[in-house]
Structures are given as C-alpha cells and as structure tokens.
Chains A and B, each alone.
Chain A
Amino acid sequence: MQKIIFGRSFNFWEEKEKEIFEKSGVHIDKYPSFVAKMSSGLLKSLKKKLIKARRKRINMTVNKEQKIRMYRTMTRIRELENKLEQIYRDGKLNGHLHTSHGEEAIAVGVMEALSEKDIIFSNHRGHGHYLARGTSPKNIMAECYGKVTGTNQGRSGSMYLVDSERGMPVASGIVGGNICVATGSALASLIKQDNIVTLSIFGDGATNIGFFHEALNMAALWNLPIVYICENNQYGEATKREQHQKVKNISDRAIAYAMSGLTIDGTDVIKVYESVKQAVEKARRGGGPTLVECVAYRLRGHSAGDLAVYRPKGEEEEWMKIHDPIKKYKKQLLEQGVLNSQEVEKIEKKIQKEIKEAVRFAVESEAPLAETVGKYVYQED
C-alpha cells in the first residue's frame, strides 16, 4: 500500500515565502531535494512560519456551518452512489458506472475551496464532483436512468455529466481527456484577465498519458491560472499504482515542469480544502499552476460489476479502518462537538430520504423523445 507522505510539498513558494526562507539562509532552488537536505528542526520551524504567513493572506478558517455542509455533502455522495450501485446490480441501469467510494473528501474539499465563477473539468468518476458543486441528485440520478430530466437530457449517462450553470463543462470519459481542455480554459482566463481559476480533476492512471505531460508543460510555461487535482486512488482500472508508474509521489512529476506540487491526505476533507484553497488563490493572484496529489483509496472496483478480485486480501479492510473519509470526518466532528450523534443521525436520515426522492423523480421522468436525437450535434440544430 502506498506510504503517504502527507503534507509534502515543493516549489510552492510565493514571493513573501521565499523571503522568509532566504532570510533563514536557505537556498531556494527548483528542486525539492534541498528540503531533504535541511535538518528537520530547521524545516519544522520554517514550515511554521510559512504556514503562519500564508494564513495571514488567505482566509482558510472553516466555520461551523461549512463543516456541517461538508459532512452533509460527503454523506450525500456516498448515499447516492450506494443507491446507484444497488440499482445497477438490480439490472435497472444501463451503461458504465464508476463510483467514488473512499474519495468523497476530495470532491467536497476541492469544491469548498472554489469561488462561484471558477471552472471545473471533471471525469468519468464524477458524481461526487457535481454533487459537491451543487448539482441536484435528482438530475444526476435521472441522467443515469437516461431520462430527459437528466443533466444532459439523457444524452450522457453517468460518465459525461454537465452543469454549465455551475461552471462544470462536459466531463471526460477518456482517461486524462480533460487535462488539455482545462488548460485551454485557463489560457482563456489569462488572455481575458477574468480572475477565474480552472480545475482539472483526474486519477492516478491519467498521469501516464501524454495529455498530462503536454498540458503541465504548457501551463507552467505560460503561468496559467489552473490547479490540477490528481485523485490518486491507487488503482488505474485494475492495475495497482506501483505497477503502472515508478515515481513514488505523483506530485514529483510537477518538478519536471518547474511547477508547484503537493501530496496531501485525500481522505481528510479539511486538509484537502486548505491545500486546494492555497493553490487556487495562488493561481488567482498570478502565481501559476499547481499539481495537487490527493491520496485516497478506491473502496470499489473500477466500475460497477468489477469485484476487484485483483486486490490483495484484506487491503480494502485495512484502509477502511483508518481512512474511510466519512467515518474519519464524522468522528472528528463528534469529538469537536460540532455535531452530536442525534444531529448526525438526522442528517443521514434526511439524505437517505432525499436520495430516495431522487430515484422516484428519475423513474417517473420521461425518456427523451426519439425525434430529438439529431438535436445539438451542431449549434444551429
């Protein structure tokens, strides 16, 4: 199993931070190796200063309301996907269904860090991204059913959801297919100077495809306002990460493009929120792109129907024990007294009801009319 180096980052300096480092007599170069060479004591004290300076500039405090909202959304994602799986198993859904069990904290933390105008390019494992951005579970469910009330009026199914009102263009079902497109969205922002940040979300498997490398090079070269979110769920379809790439941390790949890179715990929603917020605000201020590797674990097979027999026995259970993002966050909230167990139960019940309602909505909705099949192939259709 991947050894997570939480909080690992490099090249993430901004001008003021560079000053702090340089005052301490540390040479800042473009490579992270110097971090390793530094004594851990010095590193710790510098990090403290750095974080303090950053917090001063970027408001990263999470209030109670936000905390509860994040819990509610994570629960909503899990519940919707549980339901989808069940319906799929019952043979009532067509197509391919990729759920994000175990990765909910990434979707929620990421979306919480964005402003309303920001643009997000999602992928085939995208229900969570859309829910976290505010798309109604009713419309997502209806799309999975191929109904006219779905996000894409039944033209997509689960894989290529869209919500252009919320800044989410069509998701890519091609692994890595959105990375260059998202980069172009950031290029548009650079030209227009519109203060919008673009996000591209993809998995660990996508970091081996040419799109990733071409796009990161371009984004670094042009200093584009974009944040690349890699959901490292440790499997590229059925292949374990160690068997599809040799690099220890995906964020290391940012080094090759002189780009900022981070590896963070993708099962800790607050950590995701804080890290992505920093990266997004850095991009917004003209600080350039960042690659954020969020390490989590795919608690399911690649898609519904894949029982993941290729996984070592006990791996999933072992991970679940410590890193189920929802369990972990719930415990945290209870301990902090943000919620009590009755309130948690109330939230869960409400969401279960909401998802049931979404299924009813989807089932009762109409299928798209056959005569509309040729609509929208071209804009004038």
Chain B
Amino acid sequence: MTKMMYIEALRAALREEMRKDKNVFIMGEDVTRYGFGINRGLVDEFGSDRVRNTPISEAAIIGSAVGAALRGMRPIVEIMFVDFIMIGMDQIVNQAAKMSYLSNGELSVPMVIRAPEGTEWFGAGAQHSQTLHSIFMNIPGLKLVIPSDPYDAKGLLKSAIRDDNPVIFFEHKQLYTQKGEVPEEEYIIPLGKAAVKREGKDLTLVATSWMVKHSLEVAEDLKSKISIEVIDPRTLVPLDKDTIINSVKKTGRLLVVDESPVNGGVQGEIISVAMKEAFWNMESPPKRIGSLNTPIPFSSSLEKEVIPTKEKIKREIMSMFSE
C-alpha cells in the first residue's frame, strides 16, 4: 500500500491502461499542461497523439470520441468542468447512448468521459460548481461512475476504460487532493458493486462522492448515540441495489445524501429502489439531502446554504430518531 492523492490515483490508472492498450488515448482541452493536473506528465510518456489537446469545442470533443470509439479506439475525454458537458449533450444522449441499441449490439462505443463536478473550496459560482450526474441517470445506454476515494478512483477508472459502453466518470473537485491507501499491485473494481464504507446497525446512510467523507465523519461523531452504516454505491448505473436494500432491511432507517439538487435527483431514485423491497422493515420514513433547488451562488455565506453540509446531515439524522 502507498498513500496517494485522488488525482495521483487517477493518473496511475490512466498510465497503466495506456501502457496496456495502444487504443486508449486521452483528449480534451489543455490536457497536456493545464487544468486540474490529472494528466500531468502523460504527454511526455505517450506523446501528443495519445494525449491530445483539442480546441474549446465540447460537442466536437465528445462527438469525435464517439466516432473514434466506433472505430475500435478507447478514447478518454476530459471535460474541464462538468458544467461544460452540456455543450456536447446531443453527442452523449442522442449519439453515444443509442449506438449499441440502434445497431442490434453490432456497434459499441467504448469511451470514458471524465468530468469534475461539485463545489470548489473557494467558490466557483453557478456555471462551474454544478453536480449534474442525476440528469444522466435518466438516459438508458450510459454507465455512471462516481468514486469517493483514491482506491475506488483507480480501480473504477480502469474498469471504466475497459468497459465496452459509454461511461461518464464523475470526480468531485474537492476529492482531488484527498489522500488514501492504494495497493501497489494491479487491481480493478467492477462496475455495479457498492462499498460498505462503515458498518452499523441503526441507520443506513447512502452517500456519494464528496458526501461520503462528510457522512463518515458524521458517523464517527455520532457513534456513541447512533450506529450508522455508510454505503457508497460507487456506480449509479449499474446500481448495486442489493447492497442498499439488504442494509436498509437490517437498519430500518435510510438517509440518502448526494450533492445533486433534490428535485428529480438520484436521492429519490435510491429511496424508491430501497422502498420497493424494504418498505415493511422501516422504523421511520426515508429521508434525502441534496442541494437546494437554486443555482450555486458565489459568496460562501450563500453557497453553504445551498449544498449539503455535515451539520445538515447531523440535523437530519437526529430528526429521524426523535420522531
């Protein structure tokens, strides 16, 4: 085991997969020398053909990755901020997600779109802070990966690159500098397997991405009063329903925390999935926490009102035990 940052784990996955398969290549805006630094140094090893800087043209970046994937390449697209993915939305929704279905499975689009999302540590405002993964859960044909620590990030990115379907890989910007243990030997984590990040018996807390860290801290803070089980689905599509359902059956309580706005968000979907099987095991109604249904404001005094915080999670948990 070595300790490394989330971005280093991502970089290690990219490097290993690029060494392994010559069809894997990276493209995006300023992927060689700028941005959050995930690709740092890769251009020196693999050259500018395989670590390819593009014009600022998200539709063409995503669209051309679809085309290259149709021809047997395995492109990894970096979208600088997930907010910019909307410019290439048609290419994801109407092209990438439909190719397999419309061709009777003859054509495949083995591509990964890496997209940093969520609020930053210093505020980035309405068009650079969004959490958009919920939108994509409504598009059949896509797989959605959302790792919360360096270990998962590396193992899941490797699986995503090897997957034969279009995968969107969501990385919370605040996770980038987080450190964690990563094995030195090669490993992969299959898509569709949730992780029980902490075992407990009174409450199931399903959390994604940056919210996993908050949730684990809350569980620790409250451990003398409440035993909390923290589950990270790790992939939203495919969703590991069984792990969530079994936990809820055991604890009888469910809280889902995700940074998406709650209206139509993944929180409601996860609750719905769990209630179909575990409704009669419930001790109290399931709850959800997400961002308020407002754009993300710049001023930190406003921003912290909008996004889920440790305090909000604690408050919600306490309310579930006082009812």
Residues of chain A having any CB pair with chain B under 8 Å: 119, 121, 152-153, 155-156, 160, 162, 164, 169-170, 172-174, 177-189, 191-192, 198, 210-211, 214-215, 217-218, 221, 375-381
Q: A183-B67, A221-B55 are in contact. Are A376 and B91 (CB under 8 A)?
A: no
Asked whether any CB of chain A lies closer than 8 Å to the CB of B73, the reply is yes
CB-defined contacts of A155 to chain B, threshold 8 Å: 101-102, 104
A376 and B59: CB pair below 8 A?
no
For A178, A179, A211, A379, the residue with the greatest tally of chain B CB atoms inside 10 Å of its CB is A379
**Pair B64/A184 contact, Cβ less than 8 Å:** yes
Asked whether A210 lies within 8 Å of B59 as measured between CB atoms, the reply is yes
Nearest 7 A/B pairs, CB to CB: A180-B63, A184-B67, A184-B64, A214-B60, A188-B71, A214-B57, A376-B105
Residues of B within 8 A of A (CB): 25, 49-50, 54-55, 57, 59-60, 62-73, 75, 87, 90-91, 94-95, 98-108, 140-141, 143, 164-165
Q: Determine whether the beta carbon of B63 is less than 8 Å from that of A164.
A: no
Measured between beta carbons, the chain A residues less than 8 angstroms from B94 are: 172-174, 177
Nearest neighbor of A189 in chain B, beta-carbon distance: B71
Q: A214-B55, A217-B57, A379-B164 are in contact. Are A191 and B105 (CB under 8 A)?
A: no
- Chain A neighbourhood of B54, CB < 8 A: 218
Closest to A150 in B: B104
Q: Which residues of A contact B105 (CB under 8 A)?
A: 375-376, 379, 381
For A184, the chain B residues whose CB sits under 8 A away are 63-71, 75
> Is B64 a contact partner of A183 (Cβ separation < 8 A)?
yes
**Cβ-defined contact, B59 with A211, below 8 A:** yes
**Complex formed: what's the CA distance from A170 to B94 in Å?**
11
With A152-B102, A155-B102 already in contact, the answer to whether A217 and B60 are too (CB < 8 A) is: yes
What residues of chain A lie closer than 8 Å to B91, measured between beta carbons? 177, 180-181, 211
Q: How far is the CA of A184 from the CA of B110 in the complex (A)?
A: 13
Q: A181-B67, A184-B63, A184-B65 are in contact. Are A164 and B103 (CB under 8 A)?
A: yes
Can you give 7 contacting A-B residue pairs, CB < 8 Å?
A155-B104, A169-B70, A172-B94, A180-B64, A214-B59, A221-B55, A377-B101
> Residue of A at shortest CB range from B163?
A379
Task: Tell me, rounded to whole Å, the shortest Cβ–Cβ distance linking B239 to chain A.
Answer: 13
Q: Is the CB of A218 within 8 A of B57?
A: yes
**Contacting A182 at CB < 8 Å: which of B25, B67, B103, B143?**
B67
Q: Is the CB of B71 within 8 A of A119?
A: yes
Residues of chain A contacted by B107 (CB below 8 angstroms): 162, 164, 169-170
In the bound complex, residues from chain A placing their C-beta under 8 Å from that of B164 are 379-380
Question: Assuming A119-B71, A172-B95, A184-B63, is B103 touching A217 (CB within 8 A)?
Answer: no
Q: Which residue of A has the minimal Cβ distance to B164? A: A379
| Additional pairs, 8, CB under 8 Å, beyond known A174-B94, A185-B68, A379-B164 | A169-B70, A178-B95, A184-B65, A184-B71, A185-B67, A188-B70, A375-B105, A377-B101
Given the known A-B contacts A160-B98, A180-B91, A376-B100, are A191 and B25 also in contact in the complex, defined by CB atoms under 8 Å? yes
